[in-house]
């Protein structure tokens, strides 16, 4: 099965808006942010999550879909999906700085890394169990 671009976009947004958002709400108060207030920390982490969603829809998913067309089976191995977090995290980190959001490396790495892992695990676990036909519909949820 080759995920279609629409399926990739739907899956990304669904998992980010459910598991990603829930994890962000849970982990944000636990981040080592020094003297930053909880409201400032939530603003940073939720902005980062929003940037992951926006850059994913506009840039990353179309690029990944294009690159998959050069693979024999036209699909990513799971390790590629996990490693996608590296360039996406770097871009989001620099975008947060460009947007003048107070971002520190350690809390960002903890938040982004754990959120990416939670989203990855949800895509390769519960989503496939709850929506058995997900893979047969090109990754589309609707």
Which pLDDT does position 1 carry in this prediction?
Answer: 46
CB 13 within 8 A of CB 122: no
Which pLDDT does position 2 carry in this prediction?
Answer: 53
Opening angle at CA 9, ends 70 and 131, nearest 5: 100
CB 118 within 8 A of CB 19: yes
Residue 142 maps to a domain: no
Tens-digit pLDDT profile for the chain (142 aa)?
A: 456 888 888 889 999 999 999 999 999 999 999 889 999 999 999 999 999 999 999 999 999 989 988 888 777 888 998 999 999 999 999 999 999 998 999 999 999 999 999 999 998 888 777 776 666 655 566 6
Domain count, the chain: 1
Which pLDDT does position 133 carry in this prediction?
Answer: 66
Range of the domain at 106: 5-137
* Cα–Cα distance, 142 to 137 (Å, whole number): 9
Per DSSP, helices labelled H in 2-140 are 5-15, 21-27, 38-55, 61-68, 78-83, 85-98, 105-123, 126-130
Residue 77 maps to a domain: yes
Is the pTM above the cut of 0.75?
A: yes
């Amino acid at each position: 099965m080759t995920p279609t671009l629409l399926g990739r976009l739907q899956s990304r947004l669904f998992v980010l808006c459910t598991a990603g958002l829930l994890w962000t709400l849970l982990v944000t108060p636990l981040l080592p942010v020094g003297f930053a207030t909880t409201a400032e920390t939530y603003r940073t982490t939720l902005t980062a999550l929003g940037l992951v969603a926006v850059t994913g829809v506009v840039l990353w998913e179309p690029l990944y879909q294009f690159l998959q067309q050069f693979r024999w089976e036209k699909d990513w191995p799971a390790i590629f999906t996990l490693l996608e977090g590296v360039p996406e995290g770097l871009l989001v980190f620099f975008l947060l700085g460009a947007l003048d959001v107070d971002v520190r490396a350690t809390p960002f790495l903890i938040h982004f890394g754990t959120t990416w892992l939670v989203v990855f695990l949800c895509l390769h676990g519960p989503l496939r169990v709850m929506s058995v036909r997900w893979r047969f519909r090109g990754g589309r949820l609707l």
